[in-house]
Structure 1
């Protein structure tokens, strides 16, 4: 059994069954039929990353806060998809264009749900597609409403000579776009991730007043006339706001420094 497999077995054994479970290295070794030294070494590594914690008095171990953190992230994603779906369907009825739901994952935006346009000529990107937060309307709608320090860090670390965009982008261009996005409450992109496409994205906030994702409407640029962009951006922003309210957000478009 590999070290990773052993670590998973240990974490699974520590899952509470009705009440919090604490167990010693010796007990884990006996129950899981693993050498004491191996169990101790794995627990030390898991403890360094917060996946287990040790009671200073009893020296026994239990699950740590990192497990809770990742559990909440998964729950947030499931809740976001469930709450957003009816608003995505309504946005589809209003625009007849492909609708995406994105979530932030560290420095990237990830498509976690999609409803495709009923039109023959349409945009179709796979769920799970991930791009840096400075590429595309769905991602910049998120980046524009993150704390300024976090935005600056992401833009400073970007290698602008080799970013995965179909059109040249620079930090100056992105920062100007982020400023405009903050003012409007939505972002617009043209032909960055897919040639000949236009996207409109608006941010979604959690009950913690933190931007966690975005609602996006995308389609062939030829159909996105100025009149259509004005109409679609209104609905994208409207339904993103309603999703945020359903999630418990209380102060729309407040950017933290």
Structure 2
């Protein structure tokens, strides 16, 4: 079997497992295996085999009558999702409070491998705004959050990463010199905040503070950005105490 056929086979198996689990989870009461099979296009022998595997892994369970219902692993996942949704609602409420006080867009960026990704964001209500979509991974040497992340790395790890990056110019103030960037990383570690002074997008300014775990591990950045025509970088920096207060509230929801 070639790689393409193998991938298609695996994708087909995953889709069948998802169908079985979804069918079972949607039932209000345990349901018989024949009833489940009747409403599925999965071949009967395959359905039996997959249900047996899911039962062995505790994603499904069988009662004394042979009826199928969600198992302990599936329930655990559901509880974790519920807990995540509750945490996310709390995080968004805190970010709403910060955005109202600063009157600008605020959010959280998380490390994703060697990049930072915008994870949560509360958009300002101003007609003029710069929208950076969730999931976006901007060049890490150009943004306040990215430079915070880089400053948290050991120097050898940071140098290895920077050597792999193109360090190209994106805006009029983009830093492309490694010596200058290293000097800025030292400043960021000392003052515990970072800035983007039109380094990623012309006309955009931003500030960010780090969020650490109880062990001192870098977890995320809390950022605020806006068009320079509305607030200068100096204007944003006056809100640093507000960001630091918000960071303390967010800490418990972002622990790993």
TM range (shorter): 0.5 to 0.7
**What's 1:4 paired with?**
7
> Quick one: structure 1 residues 132 and 80, their matched pair in 2 at CA, closer, same or farther if it must change by over 3 Å?
farther
Q: 1:117 aligns with which of 120, 124, 137?
A: 124
Task: Tell me if the contact between 1:137 and 1:199 (Cα under 8 Å) persists in the aligned partners.
Answer: yes
- Computing the radius of gyration over CA atoms, which structure comes out larger, 1 or 2? 2
- State the SS of the aligned residue for 1:104: strand
**What's 1:18 paired with?**
none
User: What is the Cα deviation at residue 78 of structure 1?
Assistant: 7.0
Does the alignment pair 1:90 with 2:93?
no
**What's 1:39 paired with?**
none
Does the alignment pair 1:132 with 2:139?
yes
Task: Tell me if the contact between 1:204 and 1:240 (Cα under 8 Å) persists in the aligned partners.
Answer: yes
Q: CA RMSD in A?
A: 3.5
1:76 and 1:214 map into 2 onto residues whose CA distance is: 22
Listed as ranges, the gaps of 5+ residues in structure 2 are 18-44, 48-80
Q: 1:165 aligns with which of 156, 165, 170?
A: 170
Task: Tell me if the contact between 2:205 and 2:232 (Cα under 8 Å) persists in the aligned partners.
Answer: no
**What's 1:212 paired with?**
219
> Quick one: structure 1 residues 127 and 150, their matched pair in 2 at CA, closer, same or farther if it must change by over 3 Å?
same
Task: Tell me if the contact between 2:206 and 2:236 (Cα under 8 Å) persists in the aligned partners.
Answer: no
TM-score by length of 2: 0.63
User: What is the Cα deviation at residue 245 of structure 1?
Assistant: 4.1
1:79 and 1:175 map into 2 onto residues whose CA distance is: 39
TM-score by length of 1: 0.63
Task: Tell me if the contact between 2:219 and 2:254 (Cα under 8 Å) persists in the aligned partners.
Answer: no
User: What is the Cα deviation at residue 228 of structure 1?
Assistant: 2.0
> Quick one: structure 1 residues 113 and 183, their matched pair in 2 at CA, closer, same or farther if it must change by over 3 Å?
same
What is the number of equivalent residue pairs in this alignment? 195
Q: 2:111 aligns with which of 87, 91, 104?
A: 104
